[in-house]
Structure 1
Amino acid sequence: MENKELLDVAIIGGGPAGLNAALVLGRAKKKAAVIDAGRPRNAVTREVHGFLTRDGISPSEFRRIAKEEIGAYPSVSFAADTAVSIAGADGRFRVETEQGQTFASKKILFTVGMKDRPLDVPGLAEVYGKSAFVCPYCDGWELRDQPLVIIHKGTELMHFAPVISGWTNRFTVCTNGPDELTDAEREELLLNGVPLYDSPIRHIDSSEGIVRQVILEDGTTVPCRGIFFKPNLVIGSDLPQTIGCEISEFGEIVVDEFGKTNIPGVYSAGDAASRMHQAIAAASRGAFVAAVINGALNTEAWRRNE
């Protein structure tokens, strides 16, 4: 089914970045469509935190309220679908979807976020989003002062350990294999009273989603009430790379300070284009990049009249 109306912006992805972009564009009288299948990365997460006026809200309720508010602006539409191909160029892109819809759009905004690769630690999937999390700024308060296990290794661990210590000083590091640390880094953990185990994890023991202990292959058991772990993330869609967007060594879309990719007319915002994976940061960036796109559209229209 072809949507004959030429959009100003096709927003691919309907998380906080895409929704806030849609709000800004709607208020700027721009025709935009949010193409999103409704399968967010944070579907396992029960609550959104650190978002002023929305602290503790469920992700599904967050989206419901957002769509209700955006509904006040008739130039914005929603397609419960997945974009599968993009052709054309700046000013006239053609987006095709999984369900056979076609959208023509002047600009493209990727807000596809990131998604988790399968969790390779036995028992981790059962506790993810209930007592195992990836971001202490999002979920550290709920686990404050509790005994925790940190599943991490290498240089990034040495950044994470001091950060998590602000929420609790009762944590143990399980690296699930070689720790990839230097002797000096191991000494730093020791001086701060942090136990370190490099034996592979056999299983995470839990009850109704609440972790009880981490069991290692060497027989060690580490009792705990929560886990923070480093997720294995990939970009939420292959489309950006397929159309030639530059991808960084960390897996996100490379953009400039205004959200522009290396492809003219193509922009990105939110988790897909940042390592700051927080809902409020994604929403903020979505709003900013939408304003950039609106300015570009207005300038192009202005100059056509010269």
Structure 2
Amino acid sequence: MADKKILDVVIIGGGPSGLNAALVLGRARKHVAVIDEGRPRNAVTQETHGFLTRDGISPGEFRRIAKEEIGAYPTVSFVDDKAVLIARTDGQFQIATAQGKTFASKKVLFAIGMKDRPLNIPGLGEVYGRSAFVCPYCDGWELRDQPLVIITKGAELMHFAPLISGWTNRFTVCTNGPDELTDAEREELQRNQVPLFDSPIRHIDSSDGIVRQVVLEDGTTVPCRGIFFKPELVTGSDLPRTIGCEITEWGAVQVDDFGKTNIPGVYSAGDAASRMHQAIAAASMGAFVAAVINNELNTEAWGRTL
């Protein structure tokens, strides 16, 4: 089934970035479709933090309120579906969904977020979002002063260790294999009394989603009340690659300071285009890039009128 109307913008992804972009574009009187399959990465978490006026809200409730507010702008529609194909023909973008719908638009905004690769540590899936997290700015307050295990290694560890020390000084590092540290870096951790174990992790013991201990292959057990770990991430959709967007070395969509990709008319915002993986940062970027898109649409229309 095809939507015959040529939309101004199709937004692929309905998280904070895509929703805030839809709000800005709706208020700018642009015709927009937001295509989202309803499977956000943060669905595993109980609460969203660090977002002024929404601190502690569940991700699902955040989206419900956002859609309700955007509903005041009749030029924005929501499509509960998955975008599976994209092509550019005659200066327009054609987007097809898993349910057989097609949309034509002048611009495309990828607000697809990131998704986790399968978690390869037994027991981690049972605690992810309950007592195991990836961002201390989002969840560090709830685990303040608690004994924690940090699962990461190398340069990422040397960034994360001093960061997490602002919430608790009771943490142990488990690198789940070779630590990839220099002698100087190991000495730095020792000076700060940070225990370090490089034995592979056998499994994580938990009860009702709350971690009890991390068990290593060498028999060591590390009691803890929470975990922070470095996930392996990929973009939430392969469509940017399909249409030829450049991808960064860490797997995000390459954009300039205005959210533009190397493909004219294609933009990206939020977690898929940034390393600032926080809801408020994604929403801010979505709002900004939406204003850039609106300005480009208006400028093009102004030129045609002249």
Distance 1:217 1:86 in 2: 46
Distance 1:258 1:299 in 2: 16
8 Å Cα contact 1:89/1:265 also seen in 2? no
In structure 2, the residue corresponding to 1:255 is in which secondary structure? coil
User: CA 1:32–1:91 in structure 2 vs 1: closer, same or farther (change >3 Å)?
Assistant: farther
Write out per-residue CA displacement over residues 15-67 of structure 1, whole angstroms, 9 at most, x where no aligned residue.
00000000000000000000001000111000000000000000000000000
CA-CA distance at 1:90 after TM superposition:
7.7
Distance 1:112 1:135 in 2: 19
What TM-score results when the alignment is normalised by the length of structure 1?
Answer: 0.99
What amino acid is aligned across from residue 276 of structure 1 in structure 2?
M
Distance 1:93 1:208 in 2: 47
CA-CA distance at 1:188 after TM superposition:
0.3
Q: Counterpart of 1:252?
A: 252
Distance 1:89 1:229 in 2: 43
CA-CA distance at 1:189 after TM superposition:
0.3
Write out per-residue CA displacement over residues 90-146 of structure 1, whole angstroms, 9 at most, x where no aligned residue.
841110010000000000000000000110001000000000000000000000000
What amino acid is aligned across from residue 177 of structure 1 in structure 2?
G
What amino acid is aligned across from residue 161 of structure 1 in structure 2?
A
Matches within 5 A, 1:97-176: 97-176=97-176
Q: Counterpart of 1:43?
A: 43
Q: Counterpart of 2:221?
A: 221
Distance 2:62 2:179 in 1: 38
Q: Counterpart of 2:278?
A: 278
Distance 1:90 1:201 in 2: 54
Q: Counterpart of 1:53?
A: 53
Distance 1:113 1:184 in 2: 36
Structure 1 runs not aligned, ≥5 long: none
8 Å Cα contact 1:91/1:105 also seen in 2? no
Distance 1:305 1:55 in 2: 46
Higher mean alpha-carbon deviation, 22-31 vs 88-97, is at: 88-97
Q: Counterpart of 2:9?
A: 9
Q: What is the total number of aligned residue pairs between the two structures?
A: 306
CA-CA distance at 1:88 after TM superposition:
1.6
Moved over 4 A (4+): none
Matches within 5 A, 1:22-41: 22-41=22-41
Q: Counterpart of 2:66?
A: 66
CA-CA distance at 1:87 after TM superposition:
1.1
Percent of residue pairs identical: 81
Distance 1:305 1:56 in 2: 48
In structure 1, the residue corresponding to 2:142 is in which secondary structure? helix
In structure 2, the residue corresponding to 1:172 is in which secondary structure? strand
CA-CA distance at 1:274 after TM superposition:
0.4
Distance 1:210 1:7 in 2: 47
Distance 2:290 2:169 in 1: 41
What amino acid is aligned across from residue 230 of structure 2 in structure 1?
K
Residue 192 of structure 1 pairs with residue 192 of structure 2: yes
Distance 1:42 1:278 in 2: 10
In structure 1, the residue corresponding to 2:23 is in which secondary structure? helix
What amino acid is aligned across from residue 299 of structure 2 in structure 1?
T
